[in-house]
Each structure stands twice: as C-alpha cells, then as structure tokens.
Structure 1
Amino acid sequence: MSFQIPRGTQDILPGEAEKWQYIEQMARDICRRYNYQEIRTPIFEHTELFLRSVGDTTDIVQKEMYTFEDRGGRSITLRPEGTAAVVRSFVENKMYGTPNQPVKLYYMGPMFRYERPQAGRFRQFVQFGVEALGSSDPAIDAEVIALAMELYHSLGLKKLKLVMNSLGDAPSRKAHRQALIDHFKGRISEFCEDCQSRLEKNPMRILDCKKDRDHELMETAPSILDYLNDESRLYFEKVQLYLTKLGIAFEVDPRLVRGLDYYNHTAFEIMSEAEGFGAITTLCGGGRYNGLVQEIGGPETPGIGFALSIERLLAALAAEGITLPVAQGIDCFIVALGEKAKDESVILVNKLRQSGMKVERDYQDRKVKAQLKAADRLESAYVAILGDDELEKQVIAIKNMATGEQTEVSLHSFVQYMKTAVESK
C-alpha cells in the first residue's frame, strides 16, 4: 500500500526549507526592531472562540473550519487564523494588566482551512502575523502597516500595492448597514444564497462576495466613506497622514471590507502586481478590531494587526524573479583513507562542528574519487584529506576548492587553521 500527502498540503523539502528559514528569520528580526514579542498559541482551540470572534456569517466559519468532537465531547477546531487565539491568550493571561502597553505580539505557525486548493493556497498554510493591543492611536495603525511593508521590501519585492479603507466606528457602520440593506433588498433574489442570508445579518459582507462581485448593484453600492462620522473620518485621515510621512504609497478603496467580522476603522490589504502572479493577488490583510477583546471576555481594549501567508510570499518572490540569498554548501568535507584515518576523522569532524563550522564526512565507505565527488556535490569550500601516512606524521592536507590551492598543516593546528580560513572567506 502506498501513501500520498493529503490534498491541500505540501512537503517542504531540503533546499526549499532554507528559504522558509530565511523569511522566518527576517520576520523575527524586523519584529525585534519594532519591539514585537513572539507568542505561541495551541494549534487547536474551542470552536466557540472562532464562532464569537471571526463571525458566524464569514466563509471561514460557515464553510472552511476543520472542526471535530474530542473524546470528552468538546467541539474543537484547528485554528483557521491567528488573531482570535492571540486575543484569547491576551485575555486569559491578563496581559492587559502588564505595565508595558500597548502589548505588541507576533506569531508564526500553521493554520487550517478547508477550501479549494490552488496556486499559493493550501488547506494547511503558514501565517506570520502581528497584533498590537491596548492603543487607539492612529500612529500604531501606520506602524503595523509599515512593519508588513518593510518585510516585503527587505525581501526584495517591488511590485506591491497597499489598499486601504475605513470601516468606521459602531455608529458609522450602523448607518452604512441600513443604507446597504435598502440598496440590495429589492433585488437580493438575484444574488447567491450566502448574500441573501447576509442581507440582514451583516450586509457589508455582501461587498466581499466572490460570486456576485460583477453584479451591477455592487458598483453602485453605498460607500462606507460617505457614512463616516467626524471621529471616524478624522481617524482615517490621520492614518493616511502618517503613512504619507513614512513614504508609504497607498490607495483608498471603499469596497475593501475584509473577510472577518471583527474589523472596524482601518482595514488594509497588500497586493502583488507582479505579471503572471495569478488571479488572487492579496498577500497580506489586516485592520483594527476595537471590540474583539470584549467579545472574548476581556476589558475594553483596542487592537490592530495583520496576517500574511508565507506560501503566497514565496509565490510573489518567484513572480518577481527574486532569489533569496540562502547559504549553500558546507565549509569542509573530510576525506579519510584507511581505518585509522577514518577513526580519527570522526573526532576531527566533531571538533570542527563544535567550532561552529558546517562539516561532513563519508559514511558509505567510498573510494577517494567518490568521496571527492561527494564533496563537490555538497559545494564544500574546503576538502581535508587524511590518510594513515598523514596520521602517522600528524598532518592533514587541505585543499581550497575555489582556488585549487593545497597546503599541509599539523593536526594540532587543523581546527584553528580551518576556523581562520572559513571566517576570512
């Protein structure tokens, strides 16, 4: 019987995994500079958490969650996104009471959604995201967006578009909600079942429908920007002002609503405009969620964050022809000839590794020529050759594979010689 990987998942093999590690390290370094600290939450949570936070009118909750009942009869869901779990932890661990506010967090890990697999979209995918909880200053909205843009720019992406909207505060959304109901209700029968069910529950979600996005009523739908009260309008203008001062270009799109119910005020997406990237251009999405902490049982606490897919980031890099500077090759390959030399090579390899070098030796009892070919395939910077004769003389031959230069050093000074040679490359 043969086994195959489940549909919508992928194996990340050696050679590809190094790209992931590079991106992850870049994200961690940028978060360190912005003073965001890592948080790690469980891969599964109680289903009610996502019902209350993500919203029961969203596609995620209605169609995409991996939900099961455990042996205790509890409904458990594999996390479909990261914000709800972070906010749950923020409330449960009373992080709102810590002296350093706002609480600035980042996460990285697998998420799960049952949706049709396609290029750059998987049923198990990895998200990197940040959450800033405890500040209603529009400057932190700009900071969160700047952090996302810096990650993309640091990796070399240039063909990006930042799109923004304001979803307003509660009074603004209430006025806009009624305007949307009035706009759509006369012809709602022309829309899909999802849109029909959302008309009264959450009409703004109609604007996010993929099936009916070309319907003529979509183009003439009331804009949230026309219903912003003074407070919401000034807030959005301030966010735009800060982005302009930071030199971050953006477009305002009043139809941008995002796919999660917990957003209000600032909402944004970063898209790839690279030729041939594909129909789904969104790389990153986020926004402000001032009522989410209360919804999950905490005190009134404003928050803002974003999440991005590592898979789609890699696809964007490929679309722009960007090769990450991932280190290839090893520092040294030790070729051993003779039983005593082989025994000694085990010790030498360990000493070099303990000194911080990337080192390999033969484990298949191959001839010298085959060992040298193995060193070449591994792109070894140096080859050290040790035979029984050299062992008796307490020396070892070292060849620089780039220049062809060969030298002989004592076994006593071999580790220090190699360390100096590798560091000076």
Structure 2
Amino acid sequence: MSTFKAPKGTYDLIPPYSAKYLAVRDAIAAPLRKAGYGYIETPGFEDVNLFARGVGESTDIVTKEMFTLTTKGGTNLALRPEGTASVLRAALEASLHKKGNLPVKLWYSGSYYRYERPQAGRYRHFSQVGAEAIGAEDPALDAELIILADQAYRALGLRNFRILLNSLGDKECRPVYREALQAFLRGLDLDEETVRRAEINPLRVLDDKRPEVQKQLVGAPLLRDYLCDACKAYHEEVRALITAAGVAFEDDEKLVRGLDYYTRTTFEFVHGGLGSQSAVGGGGRYDGLSEMIGGPALPSVGWALGVDRTVLALEAEGIELDIPPATSVFAVALGEAKPVLFALVTELRKAGVAADISYGGKGLKGAMKDANRSGARFAVIAGDRDLAEGVVQLKDMESGDQSPVALADVVEVLRGKLA
C-alpha cells in the first residue's frame, strides 16, 4: 500500500468503474456535437479575479470555497470552481465572437474544485460537462440547451429527474425587486454574515439552504411579480418552446442559482434519488458576464451537468449502461509463439478490434485466467505445434467452443464474428 492517499474530498477513477464516467461524458456531449457545439478546454487554474468578478464576491464559492494560490511572481490564482467564466474568458481572448456568426457554441468537460465539507454527492474535486452559447439573446437558445440536456439524460435511461425553471429578470426590473427583497430581509432575524450578504446580493439569501433561514423566508416577495414586460415575454417564449418539444418542466418561483452572473432564464435538473444533494446540473442566461470580466456586451446562456452526480443518479435508478468490454480478443501465447501472436494483436488493433495479450511469461492456466478477467469474447491460443501447422486455436469464451483457424485468416474471421 502507498504511503499517500487521495486528498480528502477527492476520488480516483479506476477501471472498470471509470468506464461509467466516460460513457456519461460521451452521452452528455453527443447531443451537443449534433447541435453545432465545438469542444473547448481551458486551464485548471485562472486569475482569482476572474471568478471574484464573474461568479460574485458575495457567493460562498468565492468567499469560502475557492482553492487559491500565489505564484513565485506574486500572481494570485484559483483552481477553477466552475466552467462558464473560464470558457467566456477563453472565447474573448481568442476573439471567437469576431470570427463568425453568433452565437459561438462551445462545450467542455473537466474537473473543478471547491473547498466544501465532503459528503455523498458533494466533493472538493468534481467532474462536469458544460455547454455555452455566447453572443446571442434568443429564447430559442435557452430552450435548445434545456432540450439538449434533457435528451442526454433520457439517452442514458434516466427518468426520475425534474427540470425546475424560473426567470431572474434583467437590469431593468431586478433592481426594483432587489429593493423590495432587501426591505423584507431587513425585518428578519438573520446572522451577521447573512445580513451582509443581503446588502450585497439579496437573491443569494433566497438560495440559503439552512432551515432556520428558509423558515423566515415564507412570504418573501417573488421575482415573478416584478418582471418587466420584456422579461415576461422572453420567459413565456422559452416555456412555449420547451413545451412544444415535449420536455416537461416545473415552474419554481424561488429557484435562484448560486452564481451572481445569471439573468432571465435559470433552470436546474434535480433527481429524486440523491437525497439532499438532489441537483445534478443546471444553468441559465448570463447576459452581463462578458462586461463584468472586461469584454463587450455578449448575451449568453449555458449549463453544466455533474458527471459524478449523474453516475449516482444512474445507480439510484438501478440503470446499468451498455458499456462494451475493453477487450474483444485476448491472445494466449505458449512456447515460442509470443512474437507471432504479439504481431497478430497489433494487426487486430489496426483493424479496429480491441485486443490484448498475456504478459509475463505465464503458462496456459495463468494466461487463460487473464483472458477471463479481460472480458474478451474470444481467445486466440497458439503454441509451437499450432504455428508449425499455420493455425491458431480460436476459443469462444461464452460457449467454450474451440476450433482451429488459419493464421492468415484469423483477423478477417474475428472481424466477422464480432461484427
């Protein structure tokens, strides 16, 4: 056993379990690829001010949860706690908004970091797949992203999830609501930190999960009653487009995402089998974020779905993904047959067949144990006598049937059987 262990609140992805994560990432990305989203990858750390400005200085993410470091040159950096700010920064730096038709459609996958109390479904290192549509204000984009996430989850077989939907208004109507909410919050018995947060961004108080706070929020003014006509019309169009696509959702008037940059459309995917950490993903529109981080006005919308929480949701529903075995053919070389079967395995791989071979000079019994563990459908076995006759023994690992096949034909025979 190693002297070292993975840091608290993190995890290692190890075969065969890691295959689930790869399958979930692929399933979430598949609808995005078909909808014109291109892949983007950003650094694991950024200037700390990128998140302070974009995510919000009053958020728990910035005040309590960011992993920060200072370089030898004195630059303050932070491990990325979320993806949107980094992706938008990269798009602006590369001037993607100037190189073609808007919106710029991007998707990404990676690890993110927050210093939180570790518990089931909440880690200090977690994996997400995200999508951003940058540079266009259009209800159809908001609807598209919600529909694509719904398609991804349904393709995985998930059924026990709900989509919560709300509008957070914009710079025209939210200030009026902000004043009304602050007036309400000033009459509550809140702790000092929550009072400070209410003055900076009162919507963040609505997102407070503590029962003692939620109990006092009964009767708080609702944003829907303060939406301007433009925001109401925008939200109704989003709702109509989602409904027309046959995607079920629930209006949640109290839904407030935990990041400051959201405007208008906001949504969350929650799963009934995950307990208190029920959110598996979410997102919304962030029309002012580009300007917050020094860019031009670029209305945008996006989401991020948690890979680890999606895996937990699949397990909660008892869904087993159809993941093909890592190896389809396993070669067992006896005597002096190793170089020939090694060359055969290389040829099989070139032909698109997942193949492996027993290493370490094991005998027939040990090598066949390796073949069984690999999950291969077929084993190719050969010794000196087989090679002298120009054949190998092909064994069906499911039925146990075994028969000789000409060495020159084995690649085509296996491709036919595996097709």
- Which deviates further from its counterpart, 305-314 or 352-361? 352-361
- Which deviates further from its counterpart, 78-87 or 402-411? 402-411
Q: How far does residue 329 in structure 1 lie from its aligned partner after superposition?
A: 5.6
Between the aligned partners of 2:136 and 2:214, the Cα distance in structure 1 is 39
Which letter maps to 2:10? Answer: T
Task: Check if 1:416 corresponds to 2:412.
Answer: yes
Q: How far does residue 376 in structure 1 lie from its aligned partner after superposition?
A: 2.1
1:372-412: CA deviation from partner (whole Å, max 9, x where unpaired): 23222323212222121121122222122233333222222
Give yes or no for contact 2:162–2:269 (8 Å, CA) kept in 1.
Answer: yes
Instruction: Report the secondary structure of 1:408's partner residue.
Output: strand
2:338 to 323, 332, 342: 342
Change (3 A) 1:181 1:212: farther
1:6-52: CA deviation from partner (whole Å, max 9, x where unpaired): 00110110101111111122223211111111111111111111111
Which letter maps to 2:192? Answer: E
Task: Check if 1:362 corresponds to 2:358.
Answer: yes
Between the aligned partners of 1:329 and 1:141, the Cα distance in structure 2 is 38
Between the aligned partners of 2:212 and 2:322, the Cα distance in structure 1 is 40
Question: What is the RMSD computed on CA atoms of the aligned residues?
Answer: 1.5
Between the aligned partners of 1:208 and 1:47, the Cα distance in structure 2 is 23
Instruction: Report the secondary structure of 1:356's partner residue.
Output: coil
Instruction: Report the secondary structure of 1:171's partner residue.
Output: coil
Task: Check if 1:2 corresponds to 2:3.
Answer: yes
Question: In the alignment, which residue of structure 1 is the partner of 2:19?
Answer: 18
Give yes or no for contact 2:122–2:277 (8 Å, CA) kept in 1.
Answer: no
1:277-299: CA deviation from partner (whole Å, max 9, x where unpaired): 21121111111111111111221
1:38-86: CA deviation from partner (whole Å, max 9, x where unpaired): 1111111111111110110100000000111101101011100000011
Which letter maps to 1:25? Answer: D
Change (3 A) 1:336 1:215: closer
Matching of residues 218-237 of structure 1 within 5 Å: 218-237=217-236
Between the aligned partners of 2:95 and 2:359, the Cα distance in structure 1 is 53
Instruction: Report the secondary structure of 1:117's partner residue.
Output: coil
Between the aligned partners of 1:214 and 1:76, the Cα distance in structure 2 is 33
Change (3 A) 1:264 1:344: same
Q: How far does residue 213 in structure 1 lie from its aligned partner after superposition?
A: 5.6
Question: In the alignment, which residue of structure 2 is the partner of 1:251?
Answer: 250
Give yes or no for contact 1:207–1:213 (8 Å, CA) kept in 2.
Answer: no
Question: In the alignment, which residue of structure 2 is the partner of 1:326?
Answer: 323
1:225-272: CA deviation from partner (whole Å, max 9, x where unpaired): 011111111111111111111111111111111111111111111100
Question: In the alignment, which residue of structure 1 is the partner of 2:99?
Answer: 98
Instruction: Report the secondary structure of 1:370's partner residue.
Output: helix
Matching of residues 361-400 of structure 1 within 5 Å: 361-400=357-396
Which letter maps to 2:315? Answer: A
Q: How far does residue 205 in structure 1 lie from its aligned partner after superposition?
A: 1.1
Give yes or no for contact 1:113–1:123 (8 Å, CA) kept in 2.
Answer: yes
1:197-222: CA deviation from partner (whole Å, max 9, x where unpaired): 02221111111112256544301100
Matching of residues 4-83 of structure 1 within 5 Å: 4-83=5-84
Question: In the alignment, which residue of structure 1 is the partner of 2:182?
Answer: 181
Change (3 A) 1:224 1:153: same
Between the aligned partners of 1:329 and 1:167, the Cα distance in structure 2 is 46
Q: TM-score, normalised by structure 2?
A: 0.96
Question: In the alignment, which residue of structure 2 is the partner of 1:305?
Answer: 302
Between the aligned partners of 2:199 and 2:363, the Cα distance in structure 1 is 76
Matching of residues 192-211 of structure 1 within 5 Å: 192-211=191-210
Give yes or no for contact 1:329–1:379 (8 Å, CA) kept in 2.
Answer: yes
Between the aligned partners of 2:158 and 2:44, the Cα distance in structure 1 is 30
Which letter maps to 1:232? Answer: C
Between the aligned partners of 2:418 and 2:159, the Cα distance in structure 1 is 34
Question: In the alignment, which residue of structure 2 is the partner of 1:291?
Answer: 288
Q: How far does residue 371 in structure 1 lie from its aligned partner after superposition?
A: 2.2
Between the aligned partners of 1:203 and 1:3, the Cα distance in structure 2 is 43
Which letter maps to 1:140? Answer: L
Give yes or no for contact 2:329–2:377 (8 Å, CA) kept in 1.
Answer: yes
Give yes or no for contact 1:191–1:212 (8 Å, CA) kept in 2.
Answer: no
Between the aligned partners of 2:199 and 2:358, the Cα distance in structure 1 is 69
Question: In the alignment, which residue of structure 2 is the partner of 1:126?
Answer: 127
Give yes or no for contact 2:208–2:214 (8 Å, CA) kept in 1.
Answer: no
Give yes or no for contact 1:192–1:211 (8 Å, CA) kept in 2.
Answer: no
Change (3 A) 1:329 1:42: closer
Between the aligned partners of 2:211 and 2:417, the Cα distance in structure 1 is 64
Question: In the alignment, which residue of structure 1 is the partner of 2:260?
Answer: 261
- Which deviates further from its counterpart, 203-212 or 252-261? 203-212
Between the aligned partners of 1:380 and 1:300, the Cα distance in structure 2 is 55
Between the aligned partners of 1:335 and 1:85, the Cα distance in structure 2 is 49
Give yes or no for contact 1:192–1:212 (8 Å, CA) kept in 2.
Answer: no
Instruction: Report the secondary structure of 1:219's partner residue.
Output: coil
Between the aligned partners of 2:330 and 2:42, the Cα distance in structure 1 is 41
Give yes or no for contact 1:329–1:381 (8 Å, CA) kept in 2.
Answer: no
Change (3 A) 1:20 1:135: same
Between the aligned partners of 1:320 and 1:20, the Cα distance in structure 2 is 16
Structure 1: tracts of 5 or more residues without a match: none
Between the aligned partners of 1:381 and 1:157, the Cα distance in structure 2 is 29
- Which deviates further from its counterpart, 138-147 or 361-370? 361-370
